[in-house]
A and B are shown apart, each in its own frame.
Chain A
Amino acid sequence: MNLERVSNEDKLELCRKYYLGGFALLPFLWLVNVVWFFREAFVAPPYGEQPLIRRYVRRSALGLGLWGVGLGAWVGVFQTQRAQWGPWGDYLAFTLPLGTP
């Protein structure tokens, strides 16, 4: 859908729903929220609902950043330490690389 043709209340409602939805372990939804509403929140000329949209976009970005840090840390730890973990590493692994680690 094109945001240009949507009314401001609907934009706010959409942004808010995307923001709330992201709490269901959905950082990708927050990413979509940030990218999609970035122009609306920060670049477009101000209108009534813009401060609220800005708030949601900022919070989505914050949540996204936290998720990114956490996920990055976990993946980094897993990839480098998996071989040393013994059986736990294998239980957690979805695919195991062939050959010597």
Chain B
Amino acid sequence: MTELSAHLPQFQHGQLTENFPDNHLSNTNDSCERRRHDNSERRRNDNPDSETNGQPQNIQQVVEHDEDEDEELTLKYGAKHVIMLFVPVTLCMVVVVATIKSVSFYTRKDGQLIYTPFTEETETVGQRALNSILNAAIMISVIIVMTILLVVLYKYRCYKVIHGWLIISSLLLLFFFSFIYLGEVFKTYNVAMDYITVALMIWNFGVVGMICIHWKGPLRLQQAYLIMISALMALVFIKYLPEWTAWLILAVISVYDLVAVLCPKGPLRMLVETAQERNETLFPALIYSSTMIWLVNMAEEDPEAQRKASKNSAYDKQAPANQARNEDAEADDGGFSQEWQQQRDNRIGPIESTPESRAAVQALPSNSQTSEDPEERGVKLGLGDFIFYSVLVGKASATASGDWNTTLACFVAILIGLCLTLLLLAIFKKALPALPISITFGLVFYFATDNLVQPFMDQLAFHQFYI
């Protein structure tokens, strides 16, 4: 399920507030596909323009073929897709950890966001605990409100609002945050830089980013940009969230993710179901897609459809017989997908709690019945998940006494959680939250390593005892 909350960023005295949508990935399973086929059959009957010769037979064959394929795919869909997600998640975390280690700006305390008004510099431990709980509660409620707002906007088809929200979020992220990041990197490496070059660099970076993410661009470049904005967002969170608040927020967000995606009345689930009813793609722009999903008549469809397909919309599969329908839906969703993307980008507001980051991992089964490469299955992960994973690892590297031990332990924990989530995805074939398992493992590993393993290693090293 994807959650979307939009924040309008406001910079106030070093405090950044941002609205960001939450995104979850939903994965379409084969049952979705079959449902689509059924829907497409019905639509086909209603739509006089679609090709009808031999279609029912083809659809039937497709469904049967898919069923057979599904059983095979449940086995095949495994290691390759896991690796396809490992690489971007690892890259994002590496960027965040490298920045945290080298650029001191992101570990310096320069105030807090207005979403976490209570300070943690208190006299007693109890007061600090209370403050962090209150901070986390405020963040979570902001996120819940944003998510519900997003679902309401989507339900009442206020696509323009969502679209504008996403555009503003992307603009903020691509221009403002990267400007700050660049400035801090230059200061760290003691490099002189003039305004003209900096302006040119930021302008190029931002505009090409907007083009790649919201319009058409090379897949690799789009993936790179999504990773970069996730990393920027995670860095903002790491900077502006105080310690205990950050860990609490991570824990509560995982729980909320679980609830929102799996409960029947959860906002994300409603979002996914609404999108399914309307047969629209869900958050194409807010989701990292690892590969292209090919539809049968890709070449004949407008590039809009293609772009959306490449964006890993889980619901982007439509039967070939519904090509006309596809194009309509695609045209409809064109703006929508951009909005979603921006929402995801915007989500990463530094101060905003990140309920958005929950993204379910989504595997897209190929719905083509032709000899299109059956291996071309996209795996999708929401950008919110990237952000929260990176926040966890970044915080671990910034504040742990165990330093690299703890960082690596958290990194491994998150990857293990991702594997398990993908496994569950392959089994259940529906939208799943990607945060809970990974974040739980990450938190457990962080506290265990920091408090148990690290002192043990220190003692071993101190006594020169090698095991």
Contact = CB atoms under 8 A, between A and B. Distances in A.
A95 B193 CA distance: 5
Contact of A71 (B190, B191, B197, B207): B197
A6 B221 CA distance: 17
Contacts of A26: 203-204, 207-208
Contacts, number: 87
Nearest to A14: B216
Interface in A24-79: 24-29, 32, 35-36, 71, 74-75, 78-79
A78 B194 CA distance: 8
B192 A97 contact: yes
A1 B292 CA distance: 7
Nearest to A75: B197
The A interface, classified by DSSP as helix, strand, loop or mixed, is: helix
B156 interface: no
Interface residues of B, number: 34
B187 A95 contact: yes
Interface residues of A, number: 31
B303 A6 contact: yes
A87 interface: no
A35 B219 CA distance: 13
A74 B196 CA distance: 9
B183 A5 contact: no
A82 interface: yes
Contacts of B186: 94-95
B192 A95 contact: yes
B292 A21 contact: no
Contact of B190 (A14, A29, A99): A99
Contacts of A36: 218
A5 B219 CA distance: 13
B277 to A, nearest CB: 27
A94 B195 contact: yes
A81 to B, nearest CB: 11
A87 B294 CA distance: 58
B287 to A, nearest CB: 15
Nearest to B188: A95
A18 to B, nearest CB: 8
Interface in B210-257: 211, 216-219, 221
B200 interface: yes
25 contacts: A1-B216, A1-B218, A1-B306, A1-B310, A2-B294, A2-B306, A5-B298, A6-B306, A25-B200, A25-B203, A26-B203, A26-B204, A35-B218, A71-B197, A74-B196, A78-B194, A78-B197, A92-B196, A94-B195, A94-B198, A95-B186, A95-B193, A97-B191, A97-B192, A99-B190
Given A5-B292, A10-B303, A92-B194, 15 more contacts: A1-B219, A2-B294, A14-B216, A26-B203, A26-B208, A28-B208, A29-B208, A29-B211, A32-B218, A35-B218, A82-B192, A94-B193, A95-B186, A97-B192, A99-B190
